[in-house]
Amino acid sequence: MSSIGQTMDKATPTESFTLVFQPSGARGKVEAGTSIRRAATALGVEIESICADVATCGKCRVLIEDGQFGGIDSSPDHASSMRSTEELWITRRTNTWRTMGLDPDRLRLSCQAEVQGHMVVFVPESSRGNRQIIRKAATDRHIDIHPAVRRYYLELEPATLADPLGDVERVSLSLVAAMSRIHGDIDWVAPEVNDIRFDFHVIRAMGDAIREGDWKVSLTVWQGHRVIDIRSGYSEELYGIAVDIGSTAIAIYICDLATGEVIGTDSMMNPQTVFGDDIMSRMAYENLHEDGLATLHDSVTSGLNKLITRALRSKRINATDVHEITVVGNTTMQHLFLGISTKYLGTMPFVPTSHRAFDIKARDLGIAINPSANVHVLPSAGSFVGGDAMAVVIAEEPHKQEENLLIIDIGTNAELIAGNRDGLVCTSTPMGPAFEGAHIEYGMRAADGAIEKLEIDSESLEPRYKVIGIEGWGPDNLGVEDSMKEGGPVKGLCGSAIIDAVAEMFRVGIIGARGHFNPDLQSERVRKGELGWEYVIAWSGETSIGRDIPVTLDDIRQIQLAKAALYTAAHLLLRELGIEAPDKIILAGAFGTHIDKTKAMMLGMIPNCPLDRVFSVGNAAGDGARIALLNRHKRMEAQQIARTIRRIELPVDPDFQNEFIQALNLPHMSHQFQAIADLIPDHGPDPMARRIRDPH
Amino acid sequence: MSSIGQTMDKATPTESFTLVFQPSGARGKVEAGTSIRRAATALGVEIESICADVATCGKCRVLIEDGQFGGIDSSPDHASSMRSTEELWITRRTNTWRTMGLDPDRLRLSCQAEVQGHMVVFVPESSRGNRQIIRKAATDRHIDIHPAVRRYYLELEPATLADPLGDVERVSLSLVAAMSRIHGDIDWVAPEVNDIRFDFHVIRAMGDAIREGDWKVSLTVWQGHRVIDIRSGYSEELYGIAVDIGSTAIAIYICDLATGEVIGTDSMMNPQTVFGDDIMSRMAYENLHEDGLATLHDSVTSGLNKLITRALRSKRINATDVHEITVVGNTTMQHLFLGISTKYLGTMPFVPTSHRAFDIKARDLGIAINPSANVHVLPSAGSFVGGDAMAVVIAEEPHKQEENLLIIDIGTNAELIAGNRDGLVCTSTPMGPAFEGAHIEYGMRAADGAIEKLEIDSESLEPRYKVIGIEGWGPDNLGVEDSMKEGGPVKGLCGSAIIDAVAEMFRVGIIGARGHFNPDLQSERVRKGELGWEYVIAWSGETSIGRDIPVTLDDIRQIQLAKAALYTAAHLLLRELGIEAPDKIILAGAFGTHIDKTKAMMLGMIPNCPLDRVFSVGNAAGDGARIALLNRHKRMEAQQIARTIRRIELPVDPDFQNEFIQALNLPHMSHQFQAIADLIPDHGPDPMARRIRDPH
């Protein structure tokens, strides 16, 4: 079968030896002469390989232990001696191995080293076929690395007059053979040679790639049977990009598809915002303009292309080395990204063109990566619960938990998912841009000069605030008492500060449960200004705009509307599940990360739940996009959930209006902080109820 | 199950009746209330349908016989009475039915008419699911109509708030249901709903198509699971184009994919000819020019687009109604058409990029038909036996015959296929353009003014010839004796006339077996001109070019080289099969059609075979492209044959040189006409042998 090492001659072809693989502990008897990698496969241990056992990629490196381990006498000498290719591979990189903590004297390529005695073999993380990466969120969570695209390195038999097989046929045969060697028997069925399909661009590039690489090529294969890239010689570079298209911002994550690591992230405003702040106004723009769809589609794709190009350049990665993109967004964003009209999505009965996931060639969409790469767009659950929500689900996995979760992804639109392993329900509600600082008199985005946190002293009614870009709390440390300076650094209020302000004003009694001002307070900050009642947070001297910065009655109304929508949606979801309160609340989205969860609960934004069971997990939709990029099985999961999740359509729920009006109160009556509200005097009739019934 | 007709009440739900379908004769018992179409399916009779039994398409119309037929008392009254939709459909078109010979009083839509008594049902050709079309060639042959693309008409349930399923999902469900109704149980497995895939352009068009058609749409489905077109309402137009890309000419056939009929044909010079006459010079052009590949690729695709556009316009067919194209050509033409370099095809060891068939989106190739349509390129057997040869095989079907066939497709390159059901062998050989009139002193293409047939009187050595565009034989009837006219209509010699000339010159003794001139003849037509020995066919007065038109010694050499290549190739193929002579010879290609087979055999172009077993079948490659367009099963056959046919590589055959030199003689020594040759005196040493060994 193979040459026996010269330093060893105790093995005979029929002899068997015990192998133990660490850290898995898998153990079994193996015939002499078997390669360690093949032995591992037989014992259910996956060891990585790109080159299919020709000692080129080195992905299958292992350490052979030296000594006694649980009765096994293991030694590097118990493996066959090295042939020249393996020796070259290992000795050339001795320093690298030491840096990585891999002892060169015990290091072997498991595809080459053959079993000649008992051995304990340690498989380092980087060699494991079932690698994981840790996603840091509420709790660390592992992402199994099983991308849809994979590299294979082939050494082809050169064509001759006696063997003039075509390139495509030659590569197909060699690829299927390599796949069989690499994946072995572990839950894997080799594709038929004729089921291997080649992207048209690969076919065009193939002749040169093969010959320039002297009959050695690296292929990128999508979903185990579609060849989407070919290049000369040995090549590892294999990147993917996860894209989260929000109504307001686009975020991208460049990932190394071999390791799963995030190599770079970048973000930008969604360039569509110039055509409307939220999804309703984008849809209106499309409908009202002849070329509305093309304009919106081009806007988001060219914006994304700029973002991708910039991020790749900063990491010195070639666009052609990006072999897949996953995209998530709400249903409207996904439609516009794909160039699909939202005409029917935005009008009764609100039907999307499709719920299912799509794989579309980057060249068809004009995305500036490898033209043969696929753009995978996650499935949607419904018209207003899109791929971003499904991404949140595969990131947070409520469908695998016993506890009932309530997940709220807050953006310009909020998506809510509730339930556990027994079933999930979802809905969505427009939030308006109030939480992002828009439609607020002095609102602004979270940028330098924005107040982001705020407290009000219940005695003096004086505020303390934290300004982005400034150490410590203001106004005391802003240096504005320095008479030489004109004004201070404050420019406005970002979303989290507005929440803080309304919650604090309510807590200290500046406003009542219905949101109106207490006119009898002894504070110069509570006053009737040009825009009606207001509470001044920063005096003009503290600001860079030369004007007092107040929170107005209208600002409070905006927050009331948004929080009422959110609360009502959550409440109706929980009712659908037949539960009073969730076991755990997860706040996702950039806003969910910055929000003070105590204040949010004080305001009645979120339902009853112990505060220590409320978690902020950051951009879970982005994480989900990344998970779908790194693990093709999770795409199936998303597709499965998208098909089975129950959707609650708020506008058609008969209780929605009533619940909503009640939820406008601070805090909501049924809320755990009702006790607080009861302590605070109410100050006469509330203009809000009238406003809701008669908008003008 | 369904309402019982009011004129009939003898049926009860459990009763059964005998149905006989004509012309197939299928017969069986069927439960009362079953639709005739469903009954037919159960008895193995396929009846066409596009609308899936909603009385819209009318494709399932049948005639119910009235009277006694083999003991069965059949009557149109034995079917349920008409509902309004069916009645409308039939009465609106009464005159059409009469024109078609279909008696309106006996006509029913078989999807609507239910069995209420015994019936004999005639299924007209146009309603048959297994339709055929006759291909006229050597013998009439039937083409079964099973195109890869098919129309389905769907009436969708409109979306509502309570049923807001996405368009893609709604259409998928409805399509699978319609497919099941239409194809029933006849060897057909319904695809999974989630296996139905939609072309990206279809997804973009879907929302409007559905609503503009008031939830009624017509789909085009490729290979039973890929939706490549959607349009509003009911639509039947479904066209395909078969394309034959020859080195010299491109021919197209526009087909109605429902009936299989050829609606129009057109052809043009291959615009690549300006870059070289034959495949070798095209390859050289590609190699010698930086943008050679792009130039050649653009040249053929833009030429084809012009041809397609012109042909469609003349038939008033929209380009978007063309849903598939099949393309055949030699391996070089196919590579260049696909934009694949021929660099490695033209150099040792002559390896094509691929042998397999391709399906490539029209938009990827830039072909001016429906952008979502597929371009199906037939598989190749090897570097120089391309898709055109495989097309000839599926047209002539040697693999299904007991007789040993030799098929010769003569063009700028000749492909030869030999064998029978026990196995096929193939090879190819460059012919040079001599047979197309090029590289011949006064050669020209088959066009007005070309001599196409020629005879020489063995006594006087005077010629008689036939000129394209002129009635009768010249030179007597050309009107050149009219002293008022200057010159005549003759412009040159086309390929068939050159064959005739060489064969006749040999027959009458103007040239000897080795092709050289007899210097001792008493004829002013045999003379030593500026270019050496020649035989004048037309005097200058008969021509429009004002010069004598001779056949020169060099012309004869060209023909000798071409015919020797052809003969040698055929001979080595037969040797490979282990047979002396084929049972039948098929001459394909335009040239094969015009050639005089007696002359061809006299010259030794083709091997021994009784003359009445030599057939000219015209453009069999074009026919094969058409067959692949109309019948997807034949594509599988082509693929299968391409994989299994044995290829003989002439240049590496040790006997090739020797055989070739021998075959230069007129006729070949081993030929059945050797007897003729023996009667004709040989005239001294032949310069040819020297010329071959020492080209200059």
List, for residues B262-313, the tens digit of each pLDDT value: 999 999 989 998 898 788 889 999 999 999 999 999 999 999 999 999 999 9
pLDDT digits (tens, 9 = 90+) for B620-656: 999 999 999 999 999 999 999 999 999 887 767 788 8
From chain A, the residues in CB contact with B203 under 8 A are 338, 340, 353-354, 358
Q: CA-based Rg of chain B, rounded to a whole angstrom?
A: 31
Mutation target to probe the B interface, by most B beta carbons within 10 A, among A195, A199, A203 is: A203
pLDDT at res. B187? 62
Q: Give the residue on A whose Cα is nearest the Cα of B372.
A: A364
Given B164, B339, B352, which is nearest A383 (Cβ)? B164
From chain B, the residues in CB contact with A357 under 8 A are none
ipTM of the complex: 0.83
In this model, does residue B3 exceed pLDDT 60? no
Same fold, B16-127 and B144-232: yes
Q: What band does B135 get if pLDDT is binned at 50, 70 and 90?
A: low
pLDDT at res. A433? 65
Q: What is the dotted CATH code of the domain comprising B16-127?
A: 3.10.20.30
Q: What Cα–Cα distance (Å) separates residue A358 from each residue in A361, A641, A645, B410?
A: 10, 15, 19, 47
CA distance A111 to A342: 53
What is the share, in percent, of chain B residues with pLDDT greater than 70? 90
Both tokens of A634, joined, read: 């999770």
Mutation target to probe the B interface, by most B beta carbons within 10 A, among A200, A210, A301, A355 is: A200
Give backbone dihedrals phi and psi of A386, rounded to 5 degrees, phi first.
-100, -165
Q: What Cα–Cα distance (Å) separates residue B220 from each residue in A603, B149, B225, B227, B664?
A: 55, 6, 10, 6, 55
pLDDT at res. A696? 33
Domains of chain A, by residue range, sit at: 16-127, 143-232, 246-377, 402-430+559-693, 435-550
| Mean pLDDT of the B172-176 span | 95
Averaging pLDDT over each range in A236-245, B434-443, B491-500, which range is the top one? A236-245
A143-232 is classed in which CATH architecture?
Roll (3.10)
Do residue A338 and residue B208 have CB atoms under 8 angstroms apart? Answer: no
Q: What band does B432 get if pLDDT is binned at 50, 70 and 90?
A: low
* Residues sharing a CB contact under 8 Å with residue B92, sequence separation 6 or more, in sequence order: none
* Residues sharing a CB contact under 8 Å with residue A656, sequence separation 6 or more, in sequence order: A568, A572, A650
From chain B, the residues in CB contact with A339 under 8 A are 204
Given B163, B200, B350, which is nearest A164 (Cβ)? B350
pLDDT at res. A693? 30
Given A168, A340, A360, which is nearest B354 (Cβ)? A168
What is the share, in percent, of chain B residues with pLDDT greater than 90? 57
pLDDT digits (tens, 9 = 90+) for B7-54: 445 545 579 999 999 988 999 999 999 999 999 988 888 898 888 888
Q: Give the residue on A whose Cα is nearest the Cα of B158.
A: A349
Do residue A168 and residue B356 have CB atoms under 8 angstroms apart? Answer: yes
Parallel, antiparallel, or unpaired for β A463-467 and A450-456?
antiparallel
Q: What band does B413 get if pLDDT is binned at 50, 70 and 90?
A: confident
DSSP B603: H
pLDDT digits (tens, 9 = 90+) for B453-481: 999 998 999 999 999 888 888 787 665 55
Q: What band does B680 get if pLDDT is binned at 50, 70 and 90?
A: very low
Topology adopted by domain A246-377: Nucleotidyltransferase; domain 5 (3.30.420)
Do residue A167 and residue B338 have CB atoms under 8 angstroms apart? Answer: no
Given B164, B348, B358, which is nearest A382 (Cβ)? B164
Given A160, A204, A382, which is nearest B349 (Cβ)? A160
CATH class of B144-232: alpha beta
Question: With a threshold of 0.80, does the pTM exceed it?
Answer: yes
pLDDT at res. B436? 66
Q: How far is A341 from chain B (nearest CA, A)?
A: 7
Q: If residue A203 lies in a helix (H) or strand (E), which one and from where to where?
A: helix A200-212
Mutation target to probe the B interface, by most B beta carbons within 10 A, among A202, A228, A230, A356 is: A356
Q: How many residue pairs bridge chain A and chain B with CB atoms within 8 Å of each other?
A: 121
- Asked if B617 and B138 touch (Cβ cutoff 8 Å), the reply is yes
> Which amino acid would we find at residue B118?
H
Given A169, A353, A383, which is nearest B206 (Cβ)? A353
pLDDT at res. A442? 86
Do residue B349 and residue A164 have CB atoms under 8 angstroms apart? Answer: yes
In this model, does residue B669 exceed pLDDT 60? no
Q: How far is A513 from chain B (nearest CA, A)?
A: 36
pLDDT at res. B181? 87
| Mean pLDDT of the B77-82 span | 94
In this model, does residue B186 exceed pLDDT 70? no
pLDDT at res. B674? 45
| Mean pLDDT of the B75-82 span | 94
Given B203, B348, B352, which is nearest A353 (Cβ)? B203
For A483-508, b/e burial (b = at least 16 CB within 10 A) is: eeeebbbbbbbbbbbbbbbbbbbbbb
Q: What Cα–Cα distance (Å) separates residue B85 from each residue in A441, B56, B111, B115?
A: 64, 8, 12, 18
Instruction: Tell which residue, A153, A168, A173, has the closest CA to residue A258.
Output: A153
Whether the CA torsion B115, B119, B120, B124 is positive or negative: it is negative
A402-430+559-693 is classed in which CATH architecture?
2-Layer Sandwich (3.30)
* Residues sharing a CB contact under 8 Å with residue A521, sequence separation 6 or more, in sequence order: A461, A509, A510
Q: How far is B349 from chain A (nearest CA, A)?
A: 5
Q: Which residues of chain A have pLDDT under 50?
A: 1-8, 11, 668-696
Work out the number of other CB atoms within 10 angstroms of the CB of residue A228. 24
* Residues sharing a CB contact under 8 Å with residue A320, sequence separation 6 or more, in sequence order: A229, A369, A370
Helices A279-288 and A292-314 cross at an angle (nearest 10°) of 130
Point out the least confidently predicted range of A144-153, B56-65, B226-235, B474-483: B474-483
pLDDT digits (tens, 9 = 90+) for A250-272: 999 999 998 999 999 999 989 99
* Residue ranges of chain B whose CB lies within 8 Å of a chain A CB: 159-161, 163-169, 194, 198, 200, 203-204, 206-208, 211, 338-341, 343-344, 348-356, 358, 360, 364, 380, 382-383, 647, 649, 652
SS3 B499: helix
- Asked if A306 and A268 touch (Cβ cutoff 8 Å), the reply is yes
CATH class of B239-377: alpha beta
From chain B, the residues in CB contact with A160 under 8 A are 349
